[in-house]
Structure 1
C-alpha cells in the first residue's frame, strides 16, 4: 500500500480525541495530538494547528475534543479547562485558490470547571455543550449579557463570543466519571456512559426543567 498522506502528529488515545464537522458546508476533521489540536479538511489536507503551548498548556495533554457539527465550533479540554474555538472566514487576500479551506479557528472562551474533563458533546447548533468527568454539567449560550451567573465575554475574542455569554445551566454529581457523552440529533436528550459500571444513562428534561435519567445495563443490552 502506498502512502497517500502523512498526518502532522499521532492522535491521542481514547474515544474522544477525534471529531468531524462542517464549516460553510466544507467538511473538516479535528483531532488531539499530545497538547495540540490539528485540523484537516475533508481531503485530509492540513488546515491549521492550534498549539497548546500558545495558550499556556505546554505541559497539559488534551483529554477530549468535540465539534458543533453544523456550525464548526470546536471545544477542547486541557485538564479542567474547556476552551472554545470559533471559525472565522479567511480574508480574500488569504485565499490562494478555490480548493483552499475557507476558514480558520480563533480562541473565543475558556471555561474553568472544578473537575478533570473527560468528555464533551456539543448540540448541533453549537448553543449547548455537555461537559463530563466526575460531574456532568450542561453549559448554555445566551445572547443576553445581563443573565446572572454566566461567564463574561472574553474581550480578546471576536465573533459570537463577544456578543453573548456562556453559563452552567445544570449540573449533576456522578458515582462514576462520565467518559462518553452524546446529544440526540434533535438535542432533546443526551446519553452518558462511564468506564467501569457498564451503564448507559439516557437523560431527558422533565416538565419542571430538571434533567432525569433512565439507566440501561450494557450487560443486558449486549447479552454478555
Structure 2
C-alpha cells in the first residue's frame, strides 16, 4: 500500500483565508487551517506547513500571496507576519517548488484584519481594519534568492513600517490594486 494523499486540514472560514501566488513562474496555493498556514504546489502536493504554535496558536484570519517573489502575508489576530521563500535543494521527485518559507517580517495593527493586498511589484502591502494602511519593509529591499541553503544566511526578522494610512467610514470588504500599482480601490459594506 502506498501513501496516496496527505490531508492537511480544512480552510478557515472567510473569503480571504486562501490565496494563490507564484515564485517566479511556479504557482502555489497557501491557506490558513486553524492556526497553521498550509502551502501547496500546483498539483496540490503539500510543500510546507508553517505551524501556528510559533505565532501564539492564534487562528489565521487572512492569507495573501504575492505573484512575483512568492511572499506570503498572514494575519494572526492583530499581528501580520511576512514569509518569504528561501531556495533549498529538494529531494522530492517532480517537485517544482524547491523552497521553504521563512518568517522575515512582522507588524501589528490596531485590530484584526480580514483584508490584505500585495502591490503588483510585491514591495508594499495594504491592510484594512478601521484604517487602510500601506506597509513597506525597511529600506524597501527584496532579498535575493540563492541556490544553496548552506550559502544563505537566514534573513533577520525586520519590522515593516506604515508609510500611509487613512481612516475609513465603513469596514473594507474588498481591496484591489491597479495593474501598474499606481492606484488601489476598496469596497465596503454598510450594515443595515
User: TM-score by structure 2 length?
Assistant: 0.83
Q: Quick one: distance in 2 between partners of 1:141 and 1:171? A: 16
Matched ranges for 1:113-128 at <5 A = 113-128=109-124
Structure 2 Cα separation of the partners of residues 191 and 181 of structure 1: 6
CA contact (8 A) 1:16 1:180 kept: no
Shift of 1:47: 0.5
Q: For 2:140 and 2:101, how far apart are their aligned partners in 1?
A: 24
Deviation at 1:133, TM superposition (A): 1.4
1:140-219 aligned at under 5 Å gives the runs 140-143=136-139, 158-159=154-155, 166-196=160-190
Q: Deviations over 1:193-224 (max 9, x none)?
A: 223369xxxxxxxxxxxxxxxxxxxxxxxxxx
Question: How far did 1:6 drift?
Answer: 5.8
Q: CA deviation at 1:143?
A: 2.5
Task: Give yes or no for contact 2:106–2:160 (8 Å, CA) kept in 1.
Answer: no
1:61-84 CA-to-partner distances (Å, cap 9, x unmatched) read 111110111110000011111100
Please provide the CA RMSD for this pair.
2.4
Matched residue, 1:19: 19
Larger RCO, structures 1/2 (Cα 8 Å, 6+ apart)? 2
Q: CA deviation at 1:21?
A: 0.9
> What TM-score do the two structures reach when normalised by structure 1?
0.72
SS of structure 2 residue aligned to 1:53: helix
Query: What pairs up with 1:42-191 in 2 under 5 angstroms?
Result: 42-56=42-56, 58=57, 60-90=58-88, 92=89, 94-143=90-139, 158-159=154-155, 166-191=160-185
Cα pair 2:106 2:159 within 8 Å, conserved: no
User: How far does residue 192 in structure 1 lie from its aligned partner after superposition?
Assistant: 1.1
Provide the C-alpha distance between the structure 2 equivalents of 1:132 and 1:178, rounded to a whole number of angstroms. 6
- Unaligned 5+ segments in structure 1 are 146-156, 199-224
- The farther-off stretch of 172-181 and 128-137 is 172-181
User: In terms of Rg, which structure is larger?
Assistant: 1
Shift of 1:109: 1.0
Q: By how many angstroms is 1:190 displaced? A: 0.9
**Partner-residue secondary structure (3-state), 2:170:** coil
1:211 maps to: none
